[in-house]
């Protein structure tokens, strides 16, 4: 994904010959001045990222191999893998599996809902497109916490959706504080992040292509499968990354819609750090999550060129 | 039949847009609902708004949130603008490292990042509080700002700056009158965007706030978890109106200040790595 950026059109050679000849400063001095300037420009971002992003991640990785005496709170480094062992043999493994399942399921849910919507938007007139896009983006700007909380009201037993389900089907719809309500909340919150990249991918497509497919006799479903889906693929994969990765570490949604009963790995990490205070074990959980996500990302990056080549 | 007006696609699109909007409408309706159980409509009242207005924690939280949002936005802009200007002339290898770190700051689950930074501050005895939150927010906010500003830089033809320089402008003047002027819409837009993200953040603030300073989302989070009250809906409506106004301002600035098409579309494209 970054390859595009790296080879972008913005790269230019350091010293402009025109100005150099006009001011008549030796090239060596200009080059040096540019190096100093470049150093000054990169210093804030490099310093900030290294100290407050890279260093903390290294710190928890190191600590995840340490062990803590739970009585004295003394931390000793023996390069032990026991934190990971404790993790593997415990109930937490189920939580991790549930997180992976919820992440995959909600990403799929976002794709199933987002793809037709993104396609539908690109097929409208420009004015209508803008209104529909605003309908997708504006909810994303409003308070995430309040929107998630709203689902508690909507999903509670005796609430609007429960009564609607009873009226329509005769069955009750009591899903609050279950994995289902967490999934509804996650899909709801992350959907715009799936719709936008797919929209960007499909928006570049010449609409005549669809008409050609129709003229050649492709039925709507076949048009969708053979034309729309392959064209949407780069956007779809970008959406899968940007939804699936953060969703797996979700903390707030399971906290509110899981009612403290159904948890995800993010909740366990938070409680290990803030409530229990077992930092080495909490670190091991965080590092495990990070590792799983990195593996998934690399797998997706490998898949992407292969898919695009087809 | 043309797929363009295919009823299934249209119906699905409407249902999905409804899905996105119903919770927001529910918050708005319940903020006027006299019934505090919020299961049924119990007549209208403005009680929850006055309750929210006079809630001391909410007011203090709002002030803290604004301080944090302004601080982290300014910090993020300095980091993102200088970094992007460097990025423009960096070697491909250096750019790849920079891009990877920007990308990582955006996709890494906030829980992992927040615990790690919390732990670093704990071990280095850095006091938790407003300053710690501002630092935390600026780490991911500067990545979002960088993506938007870089998209704008890519669209800026170096020939324009060369022309200015050929016409006798000093390097500083070229930067001020050409480069910075061209970047301004992106800077304003990303400033407003990062402000909103900071304004809305829960996880990083939760870890780095310590015991003293609770920004508004943390106050709300506490209310949601421990006592369900319709006051939350009233606060929610006001917060939503505020952020939506800000974001509309961001879009308007981007659209009005020229080059909007390429800028905005470029920002989307860059953001999603295409």
Per residue in A261-276, pLDDT (tens digit) is 778 899 989 988 988 8
Q: What backbone torsions phi and psi does residue A76 show, to the nearest 5 degrees?
A: -125, 140
Task: For residues A69-88, give the mean pLDDT.
Answer: 63
Do B109 and B47 meet the contact criterion of CB atoms below 8 Å apart?
Answer: no
What is residue B260's predicted lDDT score, i.e. its pLDDT?
A: 44
Task: For residues A84-90, give the mean pLDDT.
Answer: 66
**Domain of B207: which CATH number?**
1.10.3720.10
Indicate left, alpha or beta for B258 from its phi (over 0: left) and psi (-120 to 50: alpha).
left
Q: How far apart are CA B214 and CA B129, in angstroms?
A: 8
Cβ–Cβ contact A158 with B under 8 A: yes
Cβ–Cβ contact A53 with B under 8 A: yes
Q: Which of A149, A154, A199, A279 to mutate to test the interface with B (most CBs of B within 10 A)?
A: A149
Residue B93, number of CB atoms within 10 A of its CB: 9
Bridge partners of A94, per DSSP, are none
Q: How far apart are CA A265 and CA A244, in angstroms?
A: 14
What is residue A80's predicted lDDT score, i.e. its pLDDT?
A: 66
Q: What is the CA radius of gyration of chain B?
A: 22
Domain ranges of chain A: 18-51, 91-309
Nearest CB partner across the interface for A18, out of B123, B166, B236: B166
Residue B29 within any structural domain of the chain: no
Burial of residue B21, with CB atoms counted within 10 A of its CB: 0-12 exposed, 13-18 middle, 19 or more buried = middle
Torsion angle of C-alpha atoms B208, A83, A244, A3, degrees rounded to 10: 90
CATH topology of domain A91-309: MetI-like fold (1.10.3720)
pLDDT of A166 > 50? The answer is yes
Q: How far is CA B6 from CA A109, A126, A224, in A?
A: 21, 18, 11
pLDDT of A169 > 90? The answer is no
A-B Cβ pairs (cutoff 8 Å, strict): 305
Which residues from chain A sit within 8 angstroms of residue B106, using beta carbons? 242
Average pLDDT across chain B, whole number:
84
Cβ–Cβ contact A54 with B under 8 A: yes
Q: B16: nearest CA in chain A?
A: A113
Q: How far apart are CA A63 and CA A66, in angstroms?
A: 5
What residues 99-118 of chain A have any CB closer than 8 A to a CB of chain B?
113-114, 116-117
What is residue B82's predicted lDDT score, i.e. its pLDDT?
A: 94
Bridge partners of A75, per DSSP, are A68
Residue B185 within any structural domain of the chain: yes
Do B145 and B193 meet the contact criterion of CB atoms below 8 Å apart?
Answer: yes
Cβ–Cβ contact B208 with A under 8 A: no
Residue B132 within any structural domain of the chain: yes
Indicate left, alpha or beta for B109 from its phi (over 0: left) and psi (-120 to 50: alpha).
beta
Task: For residues B208-233, give the mean pLDDT.
Answer: 85
Instruction: Give the pLDDT band (50/70/90) at residue A308.
Output: low
Cβ–Cβ contact B30 with A under 8 A: yes
DSSP string, B173-241: HHIIIIIHHHHHHHHHHHHHHHHHHHHH--HHHHHHSTTT---HHHHHHHHHHH---THHHHHHHHHHH
Q: What backbone torsions phi and psi does residue A301 show, to the nearest 5 degrees?
A: -65, -30
Domain count, chain B: 1
Residue B157, number of CB atoms within 10 A of its CB: 12
For residue B107, what are the domain limits?
48-271
Residue B14 within any structural domain of the chain: no
Q: How far is CA B241 from CA A25, A305, B32, in A?
A: 56, 42, 15
Residue B12 within any structural domain of the chain: no
What is residue A107's predicted lDDT score, i.e. its pLDDT?
A: 96
End-to-end alpha-carbon separation of chain B, Å?
Answer: 32
Cβ–Cβ contact B67 with A under 8 A: no
What is residue B192's predicted lDDT score, i.e. its pLDDT?
A: 86
Per residue in B177-215, pLDDT (tens digit) is 888 888 888 898 889 889 989 998 999 999 999 877 789
């Amino acid at each position: 994904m970054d390859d595009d950026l790296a080879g972008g059109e913005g790269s230019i050679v350091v010293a402009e010959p025109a100005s150099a000849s006009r001011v008549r400063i030796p090239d060596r001095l200009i080059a040096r001045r540019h190096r100093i300037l470049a150093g000054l420009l990169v210093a804030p971002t490099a310093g900030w990222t290294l100290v407050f992003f890279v260093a903390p991640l290294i710190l928890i990785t190191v600590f995840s191999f340490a062990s803590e005496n739970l009585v004295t709170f003394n931390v000793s480094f023996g390069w032990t893998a026991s934190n990971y062992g404790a993790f593997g043999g415990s109930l937490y493994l189920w939580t991790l599996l549930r997180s992976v399942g919820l992440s995959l399921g909600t990403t799929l849910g976002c794709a199933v809902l987002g793809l037709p919507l993104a396609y539908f938007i690109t097929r409208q007139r420009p004015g209508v497109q803008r209104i529909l896009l605003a309908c997708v983006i504006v909810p994303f700007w409003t308070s995430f916490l309040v929107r998630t909380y709203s689902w508690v009201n909507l999903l509670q037993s005796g609430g609007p959706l429960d009564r609607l389900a009873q009226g329509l089907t005769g069955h009750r719809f009591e899903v609050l504080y279950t994995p289902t309500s967490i999934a509804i909340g996650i899909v709801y919150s992350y959907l715009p992040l799936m719709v936008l990249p797919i929209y960007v991918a499909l928006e570049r497509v010449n609409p005549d292509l669809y008409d050609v497919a129709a003229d050649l006799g492709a039925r709507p479903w076949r048009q969708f499968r053979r034309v729309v889906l392959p064209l949407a693929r780069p956007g779809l994969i970008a959406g899968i990354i940007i939804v699936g990765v953060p969703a797996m570490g979700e903390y707030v949604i399971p906290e509110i819609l899981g009612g403290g009963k159904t948890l995800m790995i993010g909740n366990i990490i938070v409680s290990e750090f803030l409530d229990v205070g077992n930092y080495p074990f909490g670190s091991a959980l965080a590092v495990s999550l990070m590792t799983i996500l990195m593996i998934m990302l690399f797998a997706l990056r490998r898949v992407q060129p292969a898919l695009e080549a087809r | 039949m043309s797929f363009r007006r295919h009823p299934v696609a249209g119906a699905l699109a409407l249902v999905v847009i409804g899905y996105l909007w119903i919770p927001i409408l529910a918050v708005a309706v319940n903020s006027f609902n006299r019934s505090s159980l919020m299961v049924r409509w119990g007549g209208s009242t403005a009680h929850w708004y006055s309750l929210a207005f006079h809630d001391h924690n909410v007011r203090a939280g709002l002030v803290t949130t604004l301080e944090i949002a302004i601080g982290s936005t300014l910090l993020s802009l300095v980091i993102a603008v200088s970094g992007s200007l460097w990025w423009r002339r960096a070697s491909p290898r250096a750019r790849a490292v920079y891009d990877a770190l920007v990308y990582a700051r955006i996709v890494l689950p906030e829980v992992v990042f927040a615990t790690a930074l919390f732990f670093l501050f704990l071990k280095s005895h850095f006091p938790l509080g407003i300053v710690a939150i501002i630092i935390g927010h600026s780490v991911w906010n500067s990545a979002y700002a960088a993506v938007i500003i870089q998209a704008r830089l890519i669209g800026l033809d170096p020939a324009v700056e060369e022309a200015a320089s050929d016409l006798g402008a000093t390097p500083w003047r070229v930067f001020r009158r050409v480069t910075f002027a061209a970047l301004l819409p992106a800077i304003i837009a990303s400033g407003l965007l990062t402000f909103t993200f900071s304004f809305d953040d829960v996880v990083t603030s939760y870890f780095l706030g310590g015991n003293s300073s609770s920004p508004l989302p943390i106050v709300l989070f506490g209310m949601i978890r421990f006592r369900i009250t319709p006051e939350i809906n009233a606060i929610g409506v006001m917060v939503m109106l505020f952020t939506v106004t800000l974001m509309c301002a961001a879009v308007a600035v981007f659209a009005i200040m020229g080059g909007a098409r390429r800028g905005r579309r470029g920002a989307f494209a860059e953001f999603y790595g295409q």
